[in-house]
Structure 1
């Protein structure tokens, strides 16, 4: 446990609990909170869940759901009896089921029938109900696709580590962030909240402090931004040495807010750094340079984590 700077006023309205366990914010910016006490349908917003899913997982769920739905209805048609479907190839049971599956796909997508069509009230009723579910399913899928593409996002990449580096006449905590898409961000602001585990009244609790960046706002966020918090007498880390940083449970909770000029909306991205992710006496290496013709600036995003010990 490090030395507590008694001059610093603790932040009381951070939104986090002093007795929470684990990191408060995950690396991806999601809050590390698990909610219980209500059923799963009330606990999750499925719309938000599907909007936040990784791209390939989202597409995979849609494809698997489509296949499962068609297998389900194909099984119903097969159970009813293939004699209620005209044009079935009866060369083998497997071929019969394949034909029924593709008939189900044609019904589900409402593309119309080829050589296979339902015969009788029961098969026609199942086909009608499946077509209705297909229309609803594709409407939902279309809405989700539109929501994912149209939702404003910050597209900011943070360094995986923060460093404690020499700065001016002392030391400073630094981390890097950079936009990785061709979106236009301006009026970017950063806030840093430090959660420090301390022993108070015989109990280990987390105390929260607002860290002041040397440059809390930039007008144009086009290159990398090295955010710096100078450790001075008004900092909760004043007097900390390398051992204090290593032996104290620290979490730096970061939030960058910027204005997306394309969507004309404010976008937000978060991350956090815990003690093992804070490197003492290190500095970041440059990650941008001029092009060969000196007409363009090259930003090497794969160098965002590059540092050297000092």
Structure 2
């Protein structure tokens, strides 16, 4: 990050409660990723200790989650089918020993029936070892399905802020001056109320010859709204009290900074508070632009919110 010198309003008090620290040498390109996750890589302990698999399974995409479940299901049945073949398919009553591929296929489907506790009954284990493996697989299947059911429930019941942010922020005309603006909107049929936003500006500055991280709370035109049903444009007026006061288009291009956004709202469906965060680097701020309106009326009977226009803007003169 380029070091900003003599560009910060000295009257603006730094925010020391961000949790990011002041040591400029620990800066890794950005503090918060676009998806709201912290841009942090943890090392020093084994991977199994630093990763919560439960949280991972709840947070991955639905396609990845289903693929993991399917691959795990195939892998488990492959392992148990191999054990049945190792014991000998003659110990599975109802299977006529033949070619290996056919034997393995029959053992695989017997494993699937045992693992899911379906048990059609046309194949049954005979002897101690075959019965022992089948009983272990049945127990393993019950425990696995209990865990899978919990994960499915957790994914569906987890409160989540279904909010999208604009890809870019803009510097737009505002009340005879200019302001930093970005916007957000709910994209699912949720009912969010009491929405609240906090915005910080993070930069590396030089003080007394030492490079340090400095964070500033950005004053907003409105930091709370009663209901988040349409789009909400967050506006930071760039007044003399703003740390961005005096910044030109060239300053945004040649320097690096990060606008960090924290939003929380009350979701009436979950009867719980949901939160989301994101950030905008200076390179993602368009100087001299204004967002296009996202909503309009339809036959004077309903308001139509066009989500495809979330990041639509047009250039304007400042």
Alignment partner, residue 295 of structure 1: 301
Which of the residues 293, 305, 308 maps onto 2:311?
A: 305
Alignment partner, residue 17 of structure 2: 13
Alignment partner, residue 77 of structure 1: 84
Deviation track 1:16-40 (CA, whole Å, cap 9, x = no partner) reads: 1233322111111111111112222
Aligned: 1:212 with 2:219: yes
The whole-number CA distance in structure 1 between the counterparts of 2:223 and 2:95 is: 70
| Farther-moved stretch of structure 1 (34-43 vs 299-308) | 34-43
The whole-number CA distance in structure 1 between the counterparts of 2:208 and 2:52 is: 40
The whole-number CA distance in structure 2 between the counterparts of 1:300 and 1:69 is: 46
Give the Å deviation of 1:201: 3.4
Alignment partner, residue 149 of structure 1: 156
Alignment partner, residue 137 of structure 2: 130
Alignment partner, residue 45 of structure 2: 38
Deviation track 1:37-61 (CA, whole Å, cap 9, x = no partner) reads: 2222221121111111111111111
Mapped contact 1:89–1:99 kept (Cα < 8 A):
no
| Farther-moved stretch of structure 1 (16-25 vs 170-179) | 16-25
The two structures have a TM-score, normalised by structure 1, of 0.97
Which of the residues 84, 91, 111 maps onto 1:104?
A: 111
Alignment partner, residue 255 of structure 1: 262
The whole-number CA distance in structure 2 between the counterparts of 1:124 and 1:91 is: 21
**Secondary structure at the residue paired with 1:129?**
helix
| Farther-moved stretch of structure 1 (230-239 vs 106-115) | 106-115
Mapped contact 1:177–1:225 kept (Cα < 8 A):
yes
Alignment partner, residue 161 of structure 1: 168
Alignment of 1:219-298 (within 5 A): 219-291=226-298, 293-298=299-304
Mapped contact 2:252–2:283 kept (Cα < 8 A):
no
Structure 2: which 5+ residue stretches go unaligned? Answer: none
Deviation track 1:248-287 (CA, whole Å, cap 9, x = no partner) reads: 2111111111001111100001111112211101110111
Aligned: 1:184 with 2:191: yes
Provide the aligned C-alpha RMSD in A: 1.2
**Secondary structure at the residue paired with 1:189?**
strand
| Farther-moved stretch of structure 1 (38-47 vs 173-182) | 38-47
Mapped contact 2:258–2:279 kept (Cα < 8 A):
yes
Alignment partner, residue 202 of structure 2: 195
Mapped contact 2:197–2:223 kept (Cα < 8 A):
yes
Deviation track 1:67-112 (CA, whole Å, cap 9, x = no partner) reads: 1111111111111111111222434221111111111101110111
**Secondary structure at the residue paired with 1:12?**
coil
| Farther-moved stretch of structure 1 (263-272 vs 196-205) | 196-205
The two structures have a TM-score, normalised by structure 2, of 0.94
Between the two proteins, the alignment pairs up a number of residues equal to: 309
